[in-house]
Amino acid sequence: MLMDLLPLILSIVAIAIAIISIVTIRYIYRYLYNLLEELDISTIISRKKSKRVKRYIAIKILCPEETDIVTYIKSLSRDINELLGPIGRIRCGVTLISFRADKRRAILRVVGYSECVKHVLLILSIQHLLKNQCIAIPIKTSGLLTRIRKFVGYK
């Protein structure tokens, strides 16, 4: 009699273990998800890896007459990197590609993730408030250097 009930008892125990493990796994998953939300790490983990993009920003420089525009434009990429901070410098690379003093226009290259361009545009918009110098106005953003050069009037 006991031998006939043994498979039934084993089946019931296996189903109970499976149900308990599913409930436990869901509890652990919910606990870990809440912990990651609390630490704001879940957005980093769950976000797909985006590839690094290269964008070009055309800027127009407005300076008072007594300010040397060449000195300002040489220090512009250094000032942007300083305002980005250490993590921003690692994630975003900002380089001055070209500058035309006669038209007072320059081209910056931003290499990094998609939010890097937004950070650099924001820094360009507020940097004159912090440095009390010239104003760098972003006028166009593009992914192609030839298109941005054409817009600025290089060729």
Domain boundaries defined on the chain: 2-46, 53-152
**pLDDT computed for residue 47 by the predictor:** 55
Global pTM?
0.63
Cα–Cα distance, 119 to 123 (Å, whole number): 6
- Worst-scoring range by mean pLDDT, 2-16, 97-111, 137-151? 2-16
**pLDDT computed for residue 124 by the predictor:** 86
**Tokens at residue 49, please?**
């890896």
CB proximity list for 33: less than 8 A, separation 6 or greater = 42
Cα–Cα distance, 61 to 99 (Å, whole number): 10
More confidently predicted of 93 and 68? 93
Question: Is residue 7 over pLDDT 90?
Answer: no
C-alpha separations of 131 from 78, 89, 106, 123 in Å = 12, 19, 19, 11
**pLDDT computed for residue 1 by the predictor:** 62
The CATH class of 53-152 is alpha beta
**pLDDT computed for residue 56 by the predictor:** 93
Tell me the β-bridge partners of 95: 109
Percentage of residues of the chain with pLDDT beyond 90: 8
89, exposed or middle or buried, with CB in 10 Å at 0-12, 13-18, 19+? middle
**pLDDT computed for residue 43 by the predictor:** 54
**pLDDT computed for residue 129 by the predictor:** 78
Q: Please write the tens of the pLDDT for every residue from 31-86.
A: 877 777 776 654 555 555 567 789 999 999 888 877 778 888 878 888 888 888 88
**pLDDT computed for residue 131 by the predictor:** 72
**pLDDT computed for residue 50 by the predictor:** 62
